[in-house]
Amino acid sequence: MNGPYQSMTGPFVQQNTTTVLPTKHTITGYNNSSGNLSVNLDLNETFNDLNSGSGKGAVPEAPVYLLVFATLFYVVIFIVGILGNAAVIAVVIYGRSIRNAVNIYLINLCVADLLVMVVCMPPVLVELHTKEVWYFGEVMCKTVPFLEMVVASASVFTIIAISVERYKVVCKPLSVTVENVLYVAKVIVVIWLTAIFISAPILSIVTYKDSSLLDGTPIKVCRVPVRTTIQKSYIVISTFFIYVIPCALLFTLYCRLCRKLIPDSECPFDMYERYVSEKLRLRKQVVNIIATIVSMFFICHLPYRAVSLWLIFESSRNVASLGLEKYLAIVYTARIFLYVNHALNPIVYNFVSRKFRRTFKMMVYFRGRRNRNNSSQRRVVERKSRESSGMYCKGEINLIRIELQHRQASSSSSSSSNRRRINDFCPLYKNIANSKEYDHLKNPQN
């Protein structure tokens, strides 16, 4: 999960109590930040503090069924996310007919999703089975939470850009100017710079340091602890700006879009109105696609945001009282929802958009056909090269035959002379007259 999620650890490091809670009811001892749970909770210090009076003890293990469940989901999400997002990018680049402003923005969304899949998911998957030991060094420790927050911010800003563009086309068509690739590229640059600016403070919060498990094993950990009021305020404000405000803005835009589109659904069926109706249908389809993507974004991010704020403001004792199993179930579920969002965007776009499906099929078909043509061309070239090795081509055979016939017709004085002249060509036609077509060359006297 995202930066803010990883900072859900504030309360856990603020209380340095030595109270020993019964293991049966606590999350004791498990260094549960899962490094970068993508929810990097600074639970190691808290769990050790809660049990500091108990001395060394065994490190508790996460329930096997939770690990299996989470691992399967992560692997499926990773594969689907990589293939799906790469397919969307390839189709938009291949299909010139669908290369418009909205689809270029969708490429940007897919690039952001791919970054999460390639950079963020592997460390999270590894740490799922290594408690919270961080094996990827300090650079990756800071990169993963930072990139997750940048991508979350860039995704929501991209969705806003797409929604505003659709709103202008549908609700204010006369004021719309053609958005060329250069203009869209500038907007995308602004989106990423803004996302980086908003996410930059998380780099100062991320901590890579030495720690130890309850059994005394030294480890390296990566955490995003939220201790101070400023850090808490940053998490709350960033959540407000990249979740609450966009949600309200997009809800307002789509309410206006629906009001604009629905009344026009009943219209007379003359030629002009049919044309208008078809354009309206296509616009509705685009709006439905984007509305689905928007809904998925906010539904999938809601558990993450809610758990993030809950862990910031809830006391560590109350959280620890849940027990390790319940706590991990909540955290893993929130993380899975977040990553599902990054994998589902291309799938939704593929199933909803008929034009996308058609372009994708054409791309696959023509690529397969081109590969077949290339292989057949290679076979032809190889066959011709084999035929030309040690023998004459068909044109040379014809020339030799014509020359022989000419000499036969012009030199009828003596058969012996003809035979002698024709024998001059024996070295030539012996190599090439192997078929029945040229059998008469072997016995010219006949």
Q: What does R_g of the chain's alpha carbons equal in angstroms?
A: 35
| Cα distance between residue 443 and residue 404, in whole Å | 12
pLDDT value for 54: 44
pLDDT value for 365: 77
Number of Cβ within a 10 Å radius of residue 153: 26
pLDDT value for 146: 92
Stretch (H or E) spanning 259: helix 245-261
pLDDT value for 350: 65
Which residues, listed in sequence order, are joined to residue 212 by a DSSP beta bridge? 218
Each residue's pLDDT expressed in tens, for the chain with a length of 446 residues? 444 333 333 333 333 333 333 333 334 334 333 333 333 344 444 444 434 444 455 566 778 888 899 999 999 999 999 998 888 888 888 776 556 777 888 889 899 889 888 888 888 888 788 777 888 888 989 988 898 899 989 988 998 888 888 788 777 766 656 567 788 889 999 999 999 999 999 998 988 988 887 777 888 888 888 888 898 899 899 999 888 998 888 888 888 877 777 654 454 445 555 555 666 676 677 677 777 877 888 898 899 889 988 888 888 788 888 888 888 889 889 989 989 988 887 777 666 677 777 777 887 777 666 655 555 555 554 454 444 444 444 444 444 455 555 556 555 555 555 454 444 444 443 444 444 444 444 444 44
Q: In Å, what is the CA distance from 397 to each residue of 381, 387, 401?
A: 20, 13, 6
| Cα distance between residue 298 and residue 304, in whole Å | 10
DSSP secondary structure code for residue 243 in this structure: I
pLDDT value for 347: 74
| Secondary structure of residue 430 in the 3-state scheme | helix
Four-point Cα dihedral 294, 297, 300, 304, nearest 10 = -130
pLDDT value for 169: 75
Spatial CA neighbour of 249 closest among 258, 261, 241: 241
Q: What residue segments make up the domains of the chain, in order of their start? A: 64-364
Side chain identity, residue 240? F
Q: In Å, what is the CA distance from 335 to each residue of 97, 134, 201, 242, 350?
A: 37, 18, 22, 18, 24
In CATH terms, is domain 64-364 a member of 1.20.1070.10? Answer: yes
